[in-house]
């Protein structure tokens, strides 16, 4: 009988789900706070159910000899070392949609609290004071709310704000005009949002691109008297810069539910008169906690007893029977999406996925989900195979799937076409007998290229000297080229190059390459080649 450890607090109903589905469960809700005891116990379990208190580190994973699945009751998996889990073949699941309404409502509540200084006025009144003239708030009706990140939670906030008669401007790289129209919001670039918004609320995951999105430079572009709400992730706002702006009066108020370091027991934002702080309560309602607890118990029990995979971060939803044949094509679909996702900066309007030959008979639903997850992941790091199609739909991306009989030399391949307002990008790939995915066509140019962890993709006109230029610049900066693939559509026409590098290319090297007029574009790429 499979055995699960619950190391954080879950509802009794969730614990009962494990028992009724044939899973032995140990409910030890405080164990996650004791690293040493958890480390000594983890080797006895097939599953680990957690919230945010338990830290699933590489060290813990190394000691988890039996562990097959980690289930996070909630959306955020910042407390799980996903690469380490993937290397050990441990599935990491989350519950991406159970607390969306709750988190959105908390953001709206913080907006009201900051606008009317409710917490401070409450404290003053309880203290026996009657400082009616001290707490002069502002109306939100007619004000402009800037929503950074208009996905699952951000879109709910936007709809609530529209209902409150606010004008909503939204920035999200994946938000289409159609979806913006459905929500009743105005789609803008980030800089314009900063300049126009009276209130700003953040609803984006913490990634390399979003870390510190609200910093001193961003605040300088904002209106005087702006109010900032962050119920998403600590690190999106540079706290020191926010404190400085609050004290200077540039920012009139802030509502902060998440912090750079948590638990936050000492923080420079504390005790500022125009700041409302809460201890990461975004998902803390009875309804949300119950929903995510039940979901994670059901998902883990189904996996441990039936082999069903649902809402996995590091594995698509695939039945146990089809997994061996499908797995390498899932990886192929992911890297095709990841390639386009990393070279595309403008909003995506349309996605077409062509399944040719043998691939048309496979579980194309899983392959579509894998492609979309790879496509979206450069912007939304916690996307998974289940949430990716929903996120694409929310952003108004038009998705089409085409199946056809074998049409070329390959038994089966996948071709991805992505359209934006300005460009159309295409890439195709297949899996050879060695089980490794390969690119076989980029921009209509045929080639045969394996996928490496660190790569550089360049485009240029087909003319002499490009190979020498790329090699010379890399050599001058100590960048080792492990492999090199070239392709062109015709002599003197369009040409591309894929360089396999031993490590990520440095920004200054990339800038130098882009400075050469022979190089039309140069994009760094990174792929997960594990598994």
Q: Tell me which of 24, 260, 262, 518 is the catalytic residue.
A: 262
Buried b (16+ CB within 10 A) or exposed e, 319-330: eeeebeebbbbb
- Rounded alpha-carbon distances, angstroms, from residue 383 to 220, 312, 374: 32, 9, 9
Question: Is 233 one of the annotated active-site residues of the chain?
Answer: yes
Tell which residue, 281, 268, 282, 276, has the closest CA to residue 203. 282
Task: Kindly report whether the peptide bond that precedes residue 263 is cis, defined as omega within 30 degrees of 0.
Answer: yes
What are 433-440's contacts with CB under 8 Å, separation 24+?
435/328, 436/328, 437/328, 437/329, 437/331, 437/332, 437/335, 439/336, 439/339, 439/498, 440/410, 440/413
Q: Position of tokens 């164990």?
A: 31
C-alpha to C-alpha distance for 270 and 256, rounded to whole angstroms: 10
Q: Tell me which of 106, 160, 280, 488 is the catalytic residue.
A: 280
Question: Is 453 one of the annotated active-site residues of the chain?
Answer: no
3-state class (DSSP) for residue 427: strand
Q: Position of tokens 């609530």?
A: 160
3-state class (DSSP) for residue 318: coil
Question: Is 262 one of the annotated active-site residues of the chain?
Answer: yes
Orientation angle between helical segments 507-515 and 466-476, nearest 10 degrees: 150
> For residue 120, what is the enclosing H or E element?
helix 118-126
Q: Tell me which of 203, 233, 377, 395 is the catalytic residue.
A: 233
Residues with catalytic roles: 233, 262, 280
């Amino acid at each position: 009988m499979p055995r699960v450890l619950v190391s954080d607090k879950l509802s009794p109903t969730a614990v009962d789900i494990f028992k009724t589905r044939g899973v032995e469960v140990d409910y030890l809700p405080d164990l996650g706070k004791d690293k040493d005891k958890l480390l000594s116990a983890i080797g006895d379990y097939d599953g680990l159910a957690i919230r945010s208190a338990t830290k699933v580190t590489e060290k813990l994973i190394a000691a988890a000899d039996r562990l097959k699945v980690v289930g996070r009751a909630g959306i955020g998996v910042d407390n799980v070392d996903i690469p380490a889990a993937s290397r050990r073949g441990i599935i990491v699941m989350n519950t991406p949609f159970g607390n969306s309404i709750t988190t959105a409502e908390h953001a709206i509540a913080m907006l009201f609290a900051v606008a009317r200084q409710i917490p401070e006025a409450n404290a003053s009144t309880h203290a026996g004071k009657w400082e009616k003239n001290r707490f002069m708030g502002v109306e939100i009706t007619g004000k402009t709310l800037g929503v950074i990140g208009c996905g699952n939670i951000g879109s709910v906030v936007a709809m609530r704000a529209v209902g409150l008669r606010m004008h909503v401007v939204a920035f999200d790289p994946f938000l289409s005009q159609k979806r913006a129209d459905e929500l009743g919001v105005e789609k803008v670039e980030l800089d314009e949002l900063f300049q126009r918004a009276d209130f700003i609320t953040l609803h984006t995951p913490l990634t390399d691109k979003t870390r510190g999105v609200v910093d001193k430079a961003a605040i300088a572009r904002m209106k005087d008297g702006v109010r900032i709400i962050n119920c998403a992730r600590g690190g999106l706002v540079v706290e020191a810069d926010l404190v400085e702006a609050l004290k200077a009066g540039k920012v009139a108020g802030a509502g902060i539910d998440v912090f750079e370091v948590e638990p936050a027991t000492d923080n420079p934002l504390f005790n500022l008169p125009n700041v409302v702080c809460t201890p990461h309560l975004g998902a803390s309602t009875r309804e949300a906690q119950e929903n995510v607890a039940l979901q994670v118990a059901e998902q883990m029990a189904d996996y441990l007893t039936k082999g069903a995979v649902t809402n996995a971060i590091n594995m698509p939803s695939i039945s146990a029977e089809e997994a061996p044949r499908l797995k390498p094509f899932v990886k192929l679909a992911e890297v095709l999406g990841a390639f386009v996702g990393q070279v595309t900066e403008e909003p995506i309007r349309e996605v077409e996925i062509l399944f040719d030959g043998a691939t048309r008979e496979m579980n194309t639903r899983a392959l579509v989900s894998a492609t979309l997850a790879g496509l979206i992941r450069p912007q939304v790091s916690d996307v998974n195979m289940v949430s990716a199609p929903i996120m694409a739909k929310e952003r108004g991306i038009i998705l089409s799937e085409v199946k056809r009989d074998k049409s070329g030399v390959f038994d089966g391949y996948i071709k991805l076409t992505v359209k934006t307002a300005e460009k159309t990008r295409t890439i195709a790939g297949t899996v050879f007998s060695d089980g490794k995915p390969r690119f076989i066509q980029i921009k209509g140019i045929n080639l045969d290229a394996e996928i490496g962890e660190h790569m550089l993709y360049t485009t240029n006109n087909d003319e002499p000297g490009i190979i020498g230029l790329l090699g010379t610049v890399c050599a001058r900066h100590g960048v080792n080229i492990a492999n090199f693939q070239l392709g062109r559509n015709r002599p003197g026409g369009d040409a591309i190059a894929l360089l396999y590098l031993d490590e990520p290319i440095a920004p200054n090297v990339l800038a130098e390459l882009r400075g050469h007029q022979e190089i039309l574009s140069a994009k760094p790429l990174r792929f997960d080649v594990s598994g």
